[in-house]
Structure 1
Amino acid sequence: MNQNYSKKCAPRRLMTVTALAAFLFAPASASLFAQAGAAASANSPAADSARSAARAADPLRGTPSTITSAGNEARTQQDAFERSHRLGLRFYNGGADATCEVALGRICYWNNNGDVPPPAERADARLEREALLEVLAKAQRENPKDDWVNGMRVRYAIEGGQAEVGLEAARACGGTDWWCAALQGLALHNLNRHVDASAAFGRALAAMPEAQRCAWDDLTLWLDPAMHANYKALGCSGRGAENARVFRLGQPLWMLPGNDLQNEWYSRFTMSRVHSLGRLPYDMQWGDDLLESQLRYGWPTAWSVQNGGAADPRPPQVVGHEPTPSYDFMAVPSGIGSPTQATAKDWEPTRKKARMRYSTRYAAGYGALPHQFARFLRGGDTTILAGGYRLMRDLEMGRAPYTAALTLDGFDGRAPLQVVRDSAPANSALLVPFSSTMLASVEVLAPVGKRAARVRNTVSPLPRETRLSDYLLLQRGDPSPTPTLERNATQAYGSTEIEGGTTIGIYWEMYRQASPSAPLQVSLRATRLGASFFQRLGSSIGLSKALTPVSIKYNDNGRPDGGAGRSLTLNFPSVPSGDYQLTLMVSGAGVTDSTTQVVRVNSGNK
């Protein structure tokens, strides 16, 4: 799947776009089609002169007095390479059912996560890029202060799959301070060195002009329009905390140090700045539409051409392919506004109308992680959270090893609570103590399969007067007389989704004493949710076990050591697929406590 690509290109027909004066095409030829009037203005001599003046005034381009002969050769070679590159682009046969998802000025973007991968690049294009990199390396050695050369060498090294060369080029940069730091951040991010990339971008932001820093810190393009007014009201100096919360909530995996999503944002700005300095395969002037496209969906890593068929008089159109599969990692506005009230539904990674998409370099796919949260009381105000997970076959995680993590963040300025387990099993539970309402994230990363899965949900500690804990499903019951949470967490079933006809275990804790002379009555009952009238009737007169497949009662005389942990084995019969409410009740001395969860049963029966 990591060879599939999203794409952006000119649409097949002229469209009227609200709030845009014209919807321009991006054909493979140098000409651009625009609404009548707009084209004349855009291509007038005055406009050409203005663009030339703007390019000449760009400090990253250099001036004739500072550009060496090798620098001039590099600029000539870069322009020639992109002309040749564009003319040799291969035809793309995907996108037959694509429609324009987002219209951005002259270009059209649509999500192509499940479409045909782009054609392989021509071998001669790879050789030409290698030759260009040699010219750029020579120019950088001759003048490390040439910002244009520094940026282009990093760009083409990354584009050519030479990540270490890209970092070498960034470190050799001796030009403008903020630019060199940003190039280092880009190269380090490309290598998945998240902490180092964050530090480099921090240096870049601190060194760049204030107006530019304000622009780079403006996350409006990634935010839901419902948030725009309040966000803009914060101003440049007041949005630091909001940005930190947005980046934190959007970070794909909390188990990884640093924040690769934040690095991706600044990398997109950096690469876009490089792209603005020279020719692109689109063969059109850099503009705000290209910038917005790349900030929201990433920069293209492959290129192709496409035409509209024999009846389409226009020349072939250039298609830029961004890496896929890509996901919208932004939380919904309510989740961003109240992180410690967020639920798993506040993230929709595959939403259709996405404000942004991001394809991580360390994982080529993300899934919703089957899970179970259970809480157990400890001394004082402390609760132990058990975060269980189960790697189902349809997640396609690939072979071990796996890295699993449970992280809790209160978004209150305090350090998150976290446990990370390397070489983790395919199903287990991780334990973290906490004492206040927090957002919990259970995550699993498969480095070999390059897959990841996660779930996030708000958790609150148990009240200190709690007498009965939640229960944790196990792969098997603990037969010992002294079961403990720590021992049973390693054999957690990992989710509340089970197979009919399965034998499972259950672990819970009781924070009240029982004895042979004063036993506690324990009952465990599973009741089908959404049962029909006739199923309920049959169950009530004992003709059907489908409605209440599990019903267990016994007296608990206490543990010899007075411990709180309990465990039993449960034979869940083969019953119709569906949701069942599994309720544990403990009664004694006129007091009844209960805890319940919904268990989904999958079986061949309906």
Structure 2
Amino acid sequence: MTSLSPVLALLHLVWSQQPDSLTTLRAARRAQATFEAIRRQHLPYGSGHAGGTCDLRIGRFCYWYDDDRQPPEHAAAEPQLIRDARATLLAALDDAGARLPGDEWIAGQRVRYLVEAGRDHAAVGAARECRADGWWCAALLGLALHAAGDFTSADSAFDAALRNMPAPERCRWYDLAPLLPDKLRHRYERLSCDDRAAFESRWWWLAAPLLSRPGNDRRTEHFARLTLARIGQTSGTAYGLGWGDDLRELLLRFGWPTYWTREASPSVTAPEPLIVGHDPTPAFHFFPSARAFDAPADATSDDWTLAASHAPEGYAPAYADSFQQLEDQAAMFRRGDSCLVVAAYDLSDDALFGHQAAQAALVVARDEHSRWVAQHPARSDGPDVLTLSASCDAQLLSLEIVAPGARRVARVRHGIRAGGASGSGPAGLDVLLFDAPDSLPGELSAVLSHVLGTTRVRADRKLGLFWELYGVTSPAGPVSASLAVTPLGVGWLRRTVEALGLASHTATMRLHWDEGPATRAGDVAVASRALAVDLSALSPGRYRIELTVKAPGQEPATASREIEVVRP
């Protein structure tokens, strides 16, 4: 017979002395509390926090953003004794679950500790064995499926739980107020629970880490946290403290700790070691700005700050150690009653993506209910272009590169709008930048192999601009066009120095020309235009390229692109 250590023997004794099924639940609760006491007594020691200034004070808890303060490597390794104690607890909970399959507390603890032990598939099995209220069993299944990485099934399980839970509980679970920026929270809180559905649906759509994949793991992470909060509120904690609103807030904002450490108390009057929970890392801030929420089609890439320092919340996807901002270039061109979306990127300067199998995906969507997707293997040796046909509505675009083996993701997200309406003239131009060859291409299909995957352009190479005119068939006169390249962000000091003649003026480029009307192609007059621009006279810096086209009897149309001129 294998001997038990004293602490494991205590845990075993707590359970074995309660054979009567009528006292099963009480014994299970004692076994859980005993495990947490054993955990606290045998946590490894960390360092660097006790006595320091809090980055955030949340109720009883001091929170630090561990950007540059990592615990010793040994601290993240859970001692074998704690693992053994958890295994003993799980055996007791399995026995209790067999005796009381309809008890929601036992069912929740089984799933919780199986997930904590990394036994995700066993957690799914335990959730399926649950015989408590149907909505609670569905929530436990969602938690287990999310932990197992099956986000689509987790989404479905949580939806089932939300449909069937009591109305007051459902309202609390749907409540986004603790996660919203002030501007949106005030508006959201004025809505009734029933009136919040459209708001919540848009919020989770915009917060999805990857729009190219089914399921929304940021949403399922939120409901998994809510499930853990309900489990935790009636059980012992690793901190040795009772559950409270502060623990719930920490959990909803930053997730369930992946491990805990102890630190010596700085107080002589309270000598008990401090317990420090360590959140999953690296965590990213996937929530959109208020501006992007209000007008997704007008959003810019700056409306998502994935690596925001001291973000108000965070989520660490289990499938990625890196979520970086991607540079891109995108445009929309009309094709009858639909539009061709063109998006390009360039990973050739990213050594970490080199030699890694990756998938590139282009997604455009009017809203959370519509989606067009194009995918193909990603390139890392130069610019890559993806195209798809979609409606010509104002859209949200997401360009996503996923390298599963390297656990890396790069993405960019912003709004995009089409060119002029069919037959209405040149209004709403869009411009595509390309590396101009000696002979300029005359059609979009010929331009695609030269499209730039960034808006950073070299001063020693001619910059190609491609655009199309729609519906310009009037013989009333020529179409006039102009191009201006103007510097951005020239400060007052630079302007003063230039005025005094102590520095050369920042170059500005202007061109103007006239051309004949478009010819009709099919049912819409489409004219393709390409121009090569010499940027060698421009100083390095950021510029706005503005193209204006005016047809006789019609309002002028303008398209612009911001570029950064760099030296080779």
1:197 aligns with 2:154: yes
Match of 2:57 in 1: 103
Whether the 8 Å CA contact 1:535–1:547 is kept in 2: the answer is: no
What is the one-letter code of the residue matched to 1:370? E
Residue segments in structure 1 that go unaligned for 5+ positions in a row: 1-62
- Residue 214 to residue 332, structure 1, CA distance change in 2 (3 Å): same
Is the partner of 2:76 in helix, strand or coil? Answer: coil
Match of 2:34 in 1: 80
- 1:179-221 deviations in whole A, cap 9, x for unaligned? 1110110111112222211110111112222221121111111
Match of 2:412 in 1: 455
Match of 1:603 in 2: 567
Is the partner of 2:272 in helix, strand or coil? Answer: coil
1:494 aligns with 2:453: yes
What is the one-letter code of the residue matched to 2:135? W
Cα distance, 1:567 vs. partner?
Answer: 5.1
CA distance in 2, matches of 1:184, 1:264: 13
CA distance in 1, matches of 2:425, 2:500: 37
Cα distance, 1:85 vs. partner?
Answer: 1.1
Between 1:501-510 and 1:415-424, the stretch displaced more is 501-510
- Residue 295 to residue 595, structure 1, CA distance change in 2 (3 Å): closer
Cα distance, 1:501 vs. partner?
Answer: 3.5
CA distance in 2, matches of 1:498, 1:115: 38
Match of 2:163 among 188, 206, 227: 206
- 1:309-332 deviations in whole A, cap 9, x for unaligned? 597864321101111222332223
Cα distance, 1:268 vs. partner?
Answer: 0.5
CA distance in 2, matches of 1:377, 1:533: 41
Match of 2:431 in 1: 471
CA distance in 2, matches of 1:96, 1:533: 51
- Residue 96 to residue 572, structure 1, CA distance change in 2 (3 Å): farther
Match of 2:47 in 1: 93
- Residue 162 to residue 283, structure 1, CA distance change in 2 (3 Å): same
CA distance in 2, matches of 1:66, 1:490: 73
- 1:251-305 deviations in whole A, cap 9, x for unaligned? 2221121222221111101112222232221011111211111112111111011
1:367 aligns with 2:327: no
1:236 aligns with 2:193: yes
Match of 1:112 among 46, 66, 74: 66
Between 1:333-342 and 1:230-239, the stretch displaced more is 333-342
Is the partner of 1:305 in helix, strand or coil? Answer: strand
Residue segments in structure 2 that go unaligned for 5+ positions in a row: 1-17
What is the one-letter code of the residue matched to 1:496? T
- Residue 548 to residue 319, structure 1, CA distance change in 2 (3 Å): same
- 1:113-165 deviations in whole A, cap 9, x for unaligned? 44315532223322332333333334434443232232222112211222212
Between 1:302-311 and 1:242-251, the stretch displaced more is 302-311
Match of 1:578 among 533, 538, 541: 541
- 1:424-459 deviations in whole A, cap 9, x for unaligned? 224423334332223332232222222223333232
- Residue 375 to residue 420, structure 1, CA distance change in 2 (3 Å): closer
Match of 2:357 in 1: 401
Cα distance, 1:474 vs. partner?
Answer: 3.2
Whether the 8 Å CA contact 1:145–1:174 is kept in 2: the answer is: yes
Match of 1:378 in 2: 335
- 1:526-560 deviations in whole A, cap 9, x for unaligned? 55546656998999xxx98983699899999999x
Identity of aligned residues (%): 32
Match of 2:3 in 1: none
- TM-score normalized with structure 2 length: 0.79
Match of 1:332 in 2: 289
**Coordinate RMSD, CA, aligned:** 4.1
Greater relative contact order: 1 or 2 (C-alpha under 8 angstroms, separation 6 or more)? Answer: 1
- TM-score normalized with structure 1 length: 0.75
Between 1:429-438 and 1:165-174, the stretch displaced more is 429-438
Match of 1:509 in 2: 468
What is the one-letter code of the residue matched to 1:602? V
Instruction: Give matches, 1:144-543, under 5 Å.
Output: 144-307=101-264, 314-351=271-308, 354-380=311-337, 382-391=338-347, 393=349, 396-397=352-353, 399-411=355-367, 415-426=369-380, 427-431=383-387, 432-464=389-421, 465-467=424-426, 469-474=429-434, 477=437, 483-485=443-445, 488-489=447-448, 492-502=451-461, 505-511=464-470, 528-529=487-488
Cα distance, 1:585 vs. partner?
Answer: 6.8
- Residue 507 to residue 256, structure 1, CA distance change in 2 (3 Å): same
What is the one-letter code of the residue matched to 2:57? A
CA distance in 1, matches of 2:199, 2:66: 31
CA distance in 1, matches of 2:284, 2:351: 16
Whether the 8 Å CA contact 1:113–1:324 is kept in 2: the answer is: no
- 1:483-514 deviations in whole A, cap 9, x for unaligned? 334x6446532120134435665443344889
Cα distance, 1:336 vs. partner?
Answer: 2.7
CA distance in 2, matches of 1:384, 1:312: 70
CA distance in 1, matches of 2:309, 2:489: 31
What is the one-letter code of the residue matched to 1:385? V
The number of aligned residues is 531
- Residue 318 to residue 355, structure 1, CA distance change in 2 (3 Å): same
CA distance in 1, matches of 2:291, 2:478: 47
